[in-house]
A and B are shown apart, each in its own frame.
Chain A
């Protein structure tokens, strides 16, 4: 029994990071109605930029390195929109999808070009996990959970209590109507991209702290985030959160029942089935941004 509970615990922690990725992806979808394939690359860039500030010549402490890294990731996210997506927005969503696939491929290879394909780490010594009645959690895992809760709580307060949040939600509901009502579109779109990038970067940094940095780290996790978005219903922030947790738990519990070689198949199969049979998401009944 405790075996399954520990798997569940691992799933919750992995899922909370997926949720961080998924929130940004779903926000972009909610406002701009397209699937940003290069969202995964924001995850990777967030982590690698932190590594850049953390290692020589900068050698800043980790928390200090994370701040400029998140800011630069937000710049990348914002420029994606400004230079590529905005000119294409009037066209077909498919053009945006192709552009984002191309962009993702370009950004991923840029990471390879600059930092190489080899695995990198922050060089923390491994620590024995803390034991709670037979369950093990590491400090970094707790940090992941705490950071996820922290970011999501800020998002919740921002979206529900501020004028900014309200204009964002109005835009997600109906872009044209919101524009007619005098909501500043450039401001909304800038805040969406910055929010999505910062969340992606934060998730990427946590993931890198827990494990390693790799050029494909974003792309592999994007699939999970995407599954989470679909589970929650595209555009639904709270749905994405629950979706992230669900994917994390499902794939980790799955290891108990079939070959770990199929671990990724859980997320893929979920995406596939949901797309085909419940495109509105499992949690479509929940109210949220949308």
Chain B
């Protein structure tokens, strides 16, 4: 016991000694351990890339910018501990929120009450729009994607589908919006069920899909669950059109499902890869991380840091209200890698939805 408090005190002194007054610091709650750590590493690399560029351009009004990373164990409790530390020990006015909407929702009231700006780069739940005035997000809300999937389904002339979704905050939230929109516009849902997160055997779920004999299945799920379902459906010769969301759009899906992923069509919030911003980002990424692919949501994390740097440069002072105004100002007409980042009244951005498909074992735009 005594020894631990000792260690705690020592590291404290050590860290506070290292703090240099000249830096402009922002915090980030990142899943570096736990089940989302697979993604967390990529987010962090994208943020560090942006940070490097910000500092190469002269930092914030002459001082270098720094990101203080805090791990949240991919859990709500860990996120609360992390945000408490960032707000009260590091006293940082701008924080990058945790991935996974449930973790984000756990911390956003704390940020709001402390007048700390919280920015989301990959949390999609529609509920986040209600977090309050200090909440911003550079990633489009699920409310838009749910509608996007419903529109895709109609556009492909499927008016009767089976709906299945992953049983977590993202899947359930998205499925509810899709269902509402799809039913409103005259579609019919033949069967509708959740599937567990992280299972290895979805054969019986696949059979349940097959029982309704649908022309199309809307499958809103993650990469590994999506791949397993596709593979097992392929094995039992289910012939249907799979429609999926943005969270399954990854080369890993094809790596895991192989042939079975062929022909899947999905939506995703898109941005043009032809813009100079994207080209510059891609070149910079390949230069800094030569043997790593651009990670899921990496572009959003990159934009988030760059946009924050712009806001910090614009801000009249570091007071919460000035920073909030600066964020809104910085977003106006900001053309990032992921497109226009103008914030609406809820701190949300708009989105263009693209359609992806798997053809010849590669993800391509569906035309």
- Direct A–B contact present (CB less than 8 angstroms): yes
Residues A136 and B201 in contact, CB atoms below 8 Å apart = no
Chain B min CB distance to A43 (Å): 12
Residues B200 and A207 in contact, CB atoms below 8 Å apart = yes
Residues B198 and A211 in contact, CB atoms below 8 Å apart = no
Interface residues of A in 166-215 (CB under 8 A from B): 207, 210-212, 214
How distant is the Cα of A136 from the Cα of B231 in the complex, in angstroms?
Answer: 13
A17 to B, closest residue via Cβ: B201
Residues A126 and B235 in contact, CB atoms below 8 Å apart = yes
Residues B196 and A214 in contact, CB atoms below 8 Å apart = no
Contact (A3, B235) CB under 8 Å given A14-B201, A212-B200, A260-B193 = no
Q: Hey, which chain A residues are within 8 Å of B260, CB to CB? A: 126
Please report the number of residue pairs spanning A and B whose Cβ atoms sit closer than 8 angstroms. Answer: 84
Residues B228 and A212 in contact, CB atoms below 8 Å apart = yes
Contact (A3, B211) CB under 8 Å given A126-B234, A136-B236 = yes
How distant is the Cα of A158 from the Cα of B35 in the complex, in angstroms?
Answer: 43
Give the contacting residue for B201; candidates A117, A121, A211; CB below 8 A: A211
Chain A min CB distance to B223 (Å): 8
Interface residues of B in 12-65 (CB under 8 A from A): 34-35, 37-38
Give the contacting residue for B203; candidates A10, A118, A121, A220; CB below 8 A: A10
Contact (A256, B208) CB under 8 Å given A14-B201, A126-B260, A131-B237 = yes
Residues B205 and A126 in contact, CB atoms below 8 Å apart = no
How distant is the Cα of A47 from the Cα of B309 in the complex, in angstroms?
Answer: 47
Given contacts A116-B38, A126-B235, 11 further A-B contacts (CB under 8 A): A3-B211, A7-B204, A117-B34, A129-B235, A210-B201, A211-B201, A212-B228, A260-B194, A260-B195, A263-B199, A263-B204
B194 to A, closest residue via Cβ: A261
Give the contacting residue for B205; candidates A117, A128, A255; CB below 8 A: A255
A-B contact pairs, 7 of them (CB 8 A): A10-B203, A128-B234, A131-B237, A136-B236, A212-B256, A260-B193, A261-B193
Q: Hey, which chain A residues are within 8 Å of B201, CB to CB? A: 14, 210-211
- Bitwise, B300-322 to A at CB < 8 A (1) or not (0) is 00000000000000000000000
How distant is the Cα of A158 from the Cα of B194 in the complex, in angstroms?
Answer: 45
Interface residues of B in 230-286 (CB under 8 A from A): 231, 234-237, 256-260
- Bitwise, A259-287 to B at CB < 8 A (1) or not (0) is 11101100000000000000000000000
Give the contacting residue for A216; candidates B38, B198, B204; CB below 8 A: B198
Residues A117 and B167 in contact, CB atoms below 8 Å apart = no
A119 within 8 A of B: yes
B66 within 8 A of A: no
B236 to A, closest residue via Cβ: A136
Give the contacting residue for A255; candidates B204, B228, B257, B258; CB below 8 A: B204
How distant is the Cα of A19 from the Cα of B228 in the complex, in angstroms?
Answer: 23
Chain A min CB distance to B14 (Å): 26
A87 within 8 A of B: no
Residues A136 and B237 in contact, CB atoms below 8 Å apart = yes
Which of A10, A119, A220, A256 has the most CB atoms of chain B within a 10 A radius of its CB? A119
How distant is the Cα of A260 from the Cα of B199 in the complex, in angstroms?
Answer: 11
- A interface, CB within 8 angstroms of B: 3, 6-7, 10, 14, 116-119, 121, 125-129, 131, 136, 138, 207, 210-212, 214, 216-217, 220, 251-252, 255-256, 259-261, 263-264
Residues B203 and A260 in contact, CB atoms below 8 Å apart = no
How distant is the Cα of A210 from the Cα of B228 in the complex, in angstroms?
Answer: 10
Interface of B is mostly: helix
Chain A min CB distance to B90 (Å): 28
Chain B min CB distance to A139 (Å): 10
Q: Hey, which chain A residues are within 8 Å of B196, CB to CB? A: 260-261, 263-264
Chain B min CB distance to A120 (Å): 10
Q: Hey, which chain B residues are within 8 Å of A255, CB to CB? A: 204-205, 207-208
Which of A126, A256, A263 has the most CB atoms of chain B within a 10 A radius of its CB? A126
Interface residues on B, range: 20 to 34
Which of B35, B193, B204 has the most CB atoms of chain A within a 10 A radius of its CB? B204
Chain B min CB distance to A94 (Å): 26
Chain A min CB distance to B100 (Å): 15
How distant is the Cα of A131 from the Cα of B237 in the complex, in angstroms?
Answer: 9
Give the contacting residue for B208; candidates A14, A216, A260; CB below 8 A: A260
Q: Hey, which chain B residues are within 8 Å of A211, CB to CB? A: 200-201, 228
Residues B235 and A259 in contact, CB atoms below 8 Å apart = no
Residues A252 and B203 in contact, CB atoms below 8 Å apart = yes
- Bitwise, B206-237 to A at CB < 8 A (1) or not (0) is 01101100000000000010001001001111
Chain A min CB distance to B9 (Å): 28
Give the contacting residue for A3; candidates B167, B199, B207, B231; CB below 8 A: B207
Chain A min CB distance to B160 (Å): 19
Q: Hey, which chain B residues are within 8 Å of A128, CB to CB? A: 234-235, 237
Q: Hey, which chain B residues are within 8 Å of A263, CB to CB? A: 196, 199, 204
How distant is the Cα of A160 from the Cα of B228 in the complex, in angstroms?
Answer: 41
Which of B35, B203, B210, B257 has the most CB atoms of chain A within a 10 A radius of its CB? B203
Contact (A117, B228) CB under 8 Å given A3-B207, A252-B203 = no
How distant is the Cα of A252 from the Cα of B198 in the complex, in angstroms?
Answer: 17
Contact (A117, B235) CB under 8 Å given A212-B256, A255-B205 = no
B192 to A, closest residue via Cβ: A259
How distant is the Cα of A121 from the Cα of B235 in the complex, in angstroms?
Answer: 16
Residues B35 and A117 in contact, CB atoms below 8 Å apart = yes
How distant is the Cα of A259 from the Cα of B205 in the complex, in angstroms?
Answer: 10
Chain B min CB distance to A147 (Å): 17
A127 to B, closest residue via Cβ: B235
Residues A119 and B224 in contact, CB atoms below 8 Å apart = yes
How distant is the Cα of A131 from the Cα of B238 in the complex, in angstroms?
Answer: 12
B200 to A, closest residue via Cβ: A211
Residues B204 and A10 in contact, CB atoms below 8 Å apart = yes
Residues B207 and A7 in contact, CB atoms below 8 Å apart = yes
Residues B234 and A252 in contact, CB atoms below 8 Å apart = no
Chain A min CB distance to B330 (Å): 35
B74 to A, closest residue via Cβ: A117
Q: Hey, which chain B residues are within 8 Å of A138, CB to CB? A: 235
B197 to A, closest residue via Cβ: A261
